[in-house]
Structure 1
Amino acid sequence: MKKLLLLSSALVVLMSAMLLAGNEIKIGTAGAQELRIPVGSRGSALGGAMIANSYGAEALFWNPAGAANQSGTEAMFSHLEYFADMNLEYVGITTELEGFGTLGASIKVLSIGDILKTTWDDQQGSSGETFSPTFSVLGITYARQFTDRVSFGATTYFVNERVEQVSARGVAFDFGFTYVPNWRGLKFGVVVKHVGPQMKFTGSGFDIKVIPTTNDPNSANKTVRTESEGFDLPSSIQFGVAWNALQNNEMNNLELSGTFQSNNFSQDEFKGGAEYGYNDLFFLRGGFVGSSQDEFTYGASFGAGVKFHWGGSAVSLDYSWQQVDVNGFDDNQYFTVKFAF
């Protein structure tokens, strides 16, 4: 049964990769971009190179297979001060069920803030009215260790977007693997992210009042509803590797990681990161993300963290900073708290 599940899961990943590869006509057309916004200070500090080395609650975003590599229960709370005065809140929790696997749940909420309302008749927004778009993602995850070396995980996302009087709802799926060969400190991972059907905005905000220009007394005002085009999800396939460069060293740990990401919405991305840990108490991190496209939003990233025990729980406090290479916008800052029970 395990072999059948493993083979079926591998086929899903490979088929998804074939669908994403070389699909240049979709570049720049994907929506639901809140799915892509990274969460957690550790992952952002490592430049997103977290496909092979994410664990517990943080793995819910990066690679659901990593959730199976954490025993007990873990909860993560993360706040992101995003560029353009936006904020993102994230909560994730995983729990291990003996003999069944690991279950996880997460919620991500992106706050855009108040936007000045403009209309066809008031294109300058002189009325002073504002509206606040809301974007949220709910995720449900299942992960399991097939063997002591191979883990698999899958996540179903429920996406909701609302802008004034229109909204869009959709579902997306992640499928991931991790492989730990127990050889020279190497780890490998692969994940297909955000595959699913198109989303589409609907609602009364698309209604247009048509006023007849004729003097015919039988004519009347009409309301016509326009149709919006559907849009694809921002799908990608990512391959990751991590290496423990200081094996058999009880006090010091240095892990190097890298990720290659192939997108259906932009050029490929390359990510790299390094994490130094002292006695599993203090951590320093650095990373980068790059792309061959001319204009790319992100650059270098740095972070630090501390872990301690409190009331029978392991508590982690982490911070990271990420460069935003867009004039006029502040850099991203992440604040994260994790509890392991």
Structure 2
Amino acid sequence: MPAQTTHQSGLVLLTDPVGARSAAMGGAMTALRGDQTAVYTNPSSVALLKRKDFVLTHHSTIAGIRQIQSGWAYGTGRVGLGLSVAIHTADGFEARTGPTLNPIGTFNLFEFNAAFTYGQRIARDLYGGFTTRFLHEDVEADRASGFGLDLGLTYRPSESPFAIGASVLNLGKMDRLDLVASSLPREIRFGVTLDQTRYQASADYRLARFGSNGIHVGGEVVPVEILTIRLGYQSGHDTRSMSYGLGLRRKNWRLDYAFVPSSHGFEDAHRITLGIR
């Protein structure tokens, strides 16, 4: 196979929502603010933070597939920065050399993602930001590394509850994996949000390099100070559409949970995020 041939990267960490809040709201995060995980869909959101934020997320789905993500961010409302690390593992994939009944063995998948994010106000009510990330994946005996870049803008008028955002995600490329160079799953996103004290509503449109384009819609309601209820929907995905979630908050601590049911016989996904401010 020619060395210059490219294929779609299998980097799940670049395509799945990060954090229980994002997953519960259908991934509609491009114009949202409020926690460290928002930088995964729009790096400019880090400048809108007005405090520090640490998160730790565990995600489990189909048997043997696990994700762990940890991140820290600090913002002043004008400038902000963030750090994040994520690991994705999956065990027990069957290996075959052809259409045989019995596999010749099994292999594991490992992905690693480390990122730095910076954002600042670049004009009145306009914020910009970028994320640079190091990527690594192991598939059976093959390994590849690479670098990615995300760019984002947010326009949030100070006297308005509305905000709009736009981002370009996953610019870059991986090294060759088994003689094949992997292209990152680049996305262009546009989003709008309505941000009120007791509720938020958000909608995104996603243009995907690989797969289908999609719409993401989500909302959250705070009926009492310690409880948040979330609901989301996304189109353009083969196995999931609706999502649901809850959040509990106590002083500087919060615990978020997301449930994402799957179709076509796949197992449902569960995410739990611990946040400390």
Q: Same fold (TM over 0.5)?
A: yes
2 CA distance for matches of 1:198 and 1:90?
Answer: 21
Match of 1:334 in 2: 271
Letter of the 1:322 partner, please give it. Answer: V
Within 5 Å, which residues of 2 pair with 1:28-43? 29-34=7-12, 35-43=14-22
Counting aligned pairs with the same residue, the percent is 25
2 CA distance for matches of 1:305 and 1:98?
Answer: 24
- Please state how far the C-alpha of 1:69 moved relative to its aligned partner: 1.0
Task: Please state whether the residue corresponding to 2:182 is helix, strand or coil.
Answer: coil
Does residue 277 of the first structure (1) align with residue 277 of the second (2)?
no
Match of 2:202 in 1: 257
- Please state how far the C-alpha of 1:231 moved relative to its aligned partner: 2.6
Please, which runs of 5 or more residues in structure 2 have no aligned partner? Answer: 1-5
Out of 234, 242, 250, the residue aligned to residue 308 of structure 1 is 250
Letter of the 1:297 partner, please give it. Answer: T
* Divergent runs of 4+, >4 A: 116-120
Higher share in strand:
2
Out of 45, 49, 72, the residue aligned to residue 93 of structure 1 is 72
Within 5 Å, which residues of 2 pair with 1:11-50? 29-34=7-12, 35-50=14-29
2:234/2:241 contact within 8 Å kept = yes
Out of 117, 124, 129, the residue aligned to residue 102 of structure 2 is 124
1:97/1:103 contact within 8 Å kept = no
Letter of the 1:114 partner, please give it. Answer: G
Match of 1:288 in 2: 233
Q: How many residues align?
A: 270
1 CA distance for matches of 2:255 and 2:190?
Answer: 28
Please, which runs of 5 or more residues in structure 1 have no aligned partner? Answer: 1-27, 203-227
Within 5 Å, which residues of 2 pair with 1:182-261? 182-202=158-178, 228-244=179-195, 253-261=198-206
1:84/1:329 contact within 8 Å kept = no
Task: Please state whether the residue corresponding to 1:146 is helix, strand or coil.
Answer: strand
2 CA distance for matches of 1:106 and 1:241?
Answer: 25
Letter of the 2:269 partner, please give it. Answer: N
Letter of the 1:174 partner, please give it. Answer: D
**Which piece of structure 1 moves more, 156-165 or 255-264?**
156-165
- Please state how far the C-alpha of 1:75 moved relative to its aligned partner: 0.5
Give TM-score, length-normalised by structure 2.
Answer: 0.89
Out of 46, 49, 68, the residue aligned to residue 47 of structure 2 is 68
- Please state how far the C-alpha of 1:274 moved relative to its aligned partner: 1.2
Give TM-score, length-normalised by structure 1.
Answer: 0.73
1 CA distance for matches of 2:249 and 2:121?
Answer: 26
